[in-house]
Amino acid sequence: MHKMLAAATMALSLGTSGLAHADPLKIGMITTLSGGGAGLGVDTRDGFMLAIKNSGNKDITVVTEDDAQKPELAVQIADKMIQSDQVDVLTGIVWSNLLMAVVPGAVAQGKLYVSTNAAPAALAGANCNKLYFNAAYQNDNLHEAMGEYATKGYKKMFILAPNYPAGKDSLTGFKRYYKGEVAAEVYTKVGQTDYAAEIAQMRASGADGIFVFLPGGMGIAFMKQFAQSGVKIPVMGPGFSFSQDVLPAIGDAALGAKASGQWAPDFDNAASKKFVSDFQAEYKRLPSIYALQAYDAAQLVVSAAAKTSVKNTDAFRAELLRADITSPRGNFKFNTNQHPIQDIYLTEVVRKDGVLTNKTVEKIFTDHGDAYAKDCKL
């Protein structure tokens, strides 16, 4: 089992209200630190730990382990963390199939789960749970934004995603808002690295635009092969297809790609500027959307811990629900299903100061929720 201890305790003053509830809090982070998805997990871990460090709460301990992108391993780690390590809160999973394997068992054992990324539709609607929060989005959201964007300029889209819950949510979300013709809807294997057949389909499809959701190593492989193919159809995707963790590996092939996100490194607000500056100082690189989401997840947990004890589950949950944080993304609040309501933006990959990054172009959605909250009966 891959295993990594991310942090022990870190110091800080929480103020009077925090000191009144200085109960120890133990967080179990399960994330992907090896294989093709490692960049996503590393940014998740680093963003989360930055917020813990900045909070200075010496009563918080974080234990991190590598799920190697394997659902069965994630379940084993979660059970160990709950039963042996006796964690109070779980977090960190990147992939929706792993989250779906872990969350039902965790909440059944009375543990809070605060998601830093994975946000499957199955946990946003009728199967929502009072112990499950998502600090990132609902899986469909960023894809919905790209469907809205593509409707304005593209008549025929080729859409592609991996065949797992987030991939299916992705294309469902895109189609919910895209009003043009779908030339083809293609699902690939999770972890696939050869896209020659799919690129040949794209070339022959007659599409005037391509939408891909391929996080991590999948997106790196696809974009490099697509650039080499000579196909001249514009490629777009959600922010994590062109997130900061993969841009250096994709290289110039990503330049000009349009994407969607709830945050970008050029956001002009004090919280975002501090986050980017602190992250660069700590890790010597720009943060990705995964780091931002994990940073806010940690901020939420820290905020709740400053006001009440995690041993009082109902009170702690109520404090999480208040979302009493200053997010680098700007407006942030929880919907009735404990998923975010937030603004979503169009971005473009550019080179700034010699580094590939995402530049904010325009706002697509304001205070955007998700399609499943109406079915959640919390």
Per-residue pLDDT of 354-377, as tens digits, reads 999 999 999 999 999 999 999 999
Q: Percent of the chain, pLDDT > 70?
A: 94
Task: Give the integer Cα–Cα distance in Å for 137 and 162.
Answer: 19
Domains and CATH numbers, the chain: 25-138+268-342 (3.40.50.2300), 140-262+345-374 (3.40.50.2300)
Q: Residue 1 gets which letter from DSSP?
A: -
pLDDT for residue 130 is more than 60: yes
Computed over every residue of the chain, the mean pLDDT equals 93
pLDDT per position as a tens digit, 197-220: 999 999 999 999 999 999 989 999
Contact 209, 156 (CB under 8 A): yes
Sign of torsion, CA 77 309 118 277?
Answer: negative
Confidence of residue 20 (pLDDT cuts 50, 70, 90): very low
pLDDT per position as a tens digit, 28-83: 999 999 998 999 999 999 999 999 999 999 999 999 999 999 999 999 999 999 99
| Residue 79, token pair as written in the block | 């059970």
Nearest to 70 by CA among 101, 103, 44, 41: 101
Contact 211, 157 (CB under 8 A): yes
Task: Give the integer Cα–Cα distance in Å for 78 and 96.
Answer: 15
259 class by beta-carbon count within 10 Å (0-12 exposed, 13-18 middle, 19+ buried): buried
Contact 302, 319 (CB under 8 A): no
| Residue 133, token pair as written in the block | 């929060």
Task: Give the integer Cα–Cα distance in Å for 121 and 241.
Answer: 19
Nearest to 8 by CA among 48, 86, 60, 74: 60
CA distances from 297 to 15, 159, 188, 200, 291 (A): 21, 30, 30, 41, 10
Task: Give the integer Cα–Cα distance in Å for 235 and 159.
Answer: 10
Contact 320, 114 (CB under 8 A): yes
Contact 40, 245 (CB under 8 A): yes
Task: Give the integer Cα–Cα distance in Å for 136 and 339.
Answer: 8
Q: Please, which residues bridge with residue 184 across strands? A: 158
Task: Give the integer Cα–Cα distance in Å for 333 and 158.
Answer: 34
DSSP per residue, 100-127: HHHHHHHHHTT-EEEESS---GGGTSTT
pLDDT for residue 316 is more than 90: yes
Neighbours of 149 (CB within 10 A): 23
Helices marked H in the chain: 15-19, 38-55, 71-83, 96-108, 141-151, 165-177, 196-204, 217-229, 247-250, 270-283, 289-305, 313-322
Query: So what's the pLDDT on residue 275?
Result: 98
Task: Give the integer Cα–Cα distance in Å for 229 and 66.
Answer: 35
pTM for this model (two decimals): 0.91
Task: Give the integer Cα–Cα distance in Å for 26 and 240.
Answer: 29
2 vs 302 pLDDT, higher one: 302
